[in-house]
Amino acid sequence: MIYFVLNFGRTDGGSGVTNLIPTWYKQLSTNKSIEIQLYKCHKMASIFEIELDTYITGKDHGGIKFSVGLFHFNFSFNFYDHRHWDYENKHWVE
Say how many domains are in the chain.
1
pLDDT tens figures, 21-53: 888 999 999 999 999 999 988 777 688 999 999
pLDDT higher than threshold 70 for residue 14: no
**Considering the entire predicted model, what is its pTM?**
0.81
Mean pLDDT of 54-82: 91
What is the pLDDT, as a whole number, of residue 10? Answer: 67
Return the HEC string of the chain.
Answer: CCEEEEEECCCCCCCCEEECCCCEEEECCCCEEEEEEEEEECCCCCCEEEEEECCCCCCCCCEEEEEEEECCEEEEEEEEECCCEECCCCEECC
What is the pLDDT, as a whole number, of residue 48? Answer: 92
Range(s) of the domain holding residue 38: 3-92
What is the pLDDT, as a whole number, of residue 11? Answer: 59
Q: Which band of pLDDT confidence, cut at 50, 70 and 90, is reported for residue 74?
A: very high
